[in-house]
Amino acid sequence: MALQPAAGARDLNPREVDGNRWLCDQLAAVYRQWGYAEVAPPAVERLETLEAGGGIDDRELVRLAADEPLGLRPEMTASIARAACTRLAERPRPLRLWSCGTVFRSGESDSGQHRLEEALQSGVELLGAAGAEAAAADAELLRLLLACLRRLGINASHGPTLLLGHHGVLTALLDQVPVAQRTATRTA
């Protein structure tokens, strides 16, 4: 029996577990208050689904030995989007969903060794807003983020940094790139 967890994985002590649970509970309270419903996507997903959005570098996927191409989720959005298009397809749009759980990425240590990166992720998905409703959805997500920060007691003195990525902005930028170079540009 190995006495150490896999490289990149770690055992959480009771204080860390309590801290993570408190954090998830605080965020869940805000998500519910804003009308978001909890979903629990599987930790194991088809590679086709995990690679669908193109936002995850193929080298970061943790592949499993199985009869079909499977991997551990590196984030939850792809799995939630798949469920929204299948099992949740009949629900009225926009869908307001939230999830919390462990995600896994493959990485490389400073010495060049393969390592598993295991992290806790909590977040929301607002799916199916169209037209003028889409701008309101973007604003809703920013207001929800601010509500979460307030609930957690994070303020300007903590020096938070907000990094925004938006598909509409990326698409507008890629429209300026010659068609033959768009895939390489998106990858870069």
Sequence spans of domains, the chain:
14-155+163-187
Q: What rounded mean pLDDT belongs to the chain? A: 91
More confident residue, 73 or 162: 73
DSSP string, the chain: --SSPPTT--PPPHHHHHHHHHHHHHHHHHHHHTTPEE----SEEEHHHHTTTS-S-GGG-EEE-SSS-EEE-SSSHHHHHHHHHTTTTTSPSSEEEEEEEEEEEEEE-TTS-EEEEEEEEEEEEEE---THHHHHHHHHHHHHHHHHHHHHT--GGG--------HHHHHHHHTTS-GGGHHHHHH-
Per-residue pLDDT at 173: 78
Cβ-in-10-Å burial (0-12, 13-18, 19+) of 50 comes to: buried
Please report the pLDDT score of residue 54 as a whole number. 73
Q: Which CATH number fits domain 14-155+163-187: 3.40.50.2000, 2.40.30.20, 3.30.930.10, 3.40.1710.10?
A: 3.30.930.10
First to last CA, the chain: 42
Give yes or no for residue 170 having a pLDDT over 90: no
Split at pLDDT 50, 70, 90, the class of 144 is very high
pLDDT at 160: 92
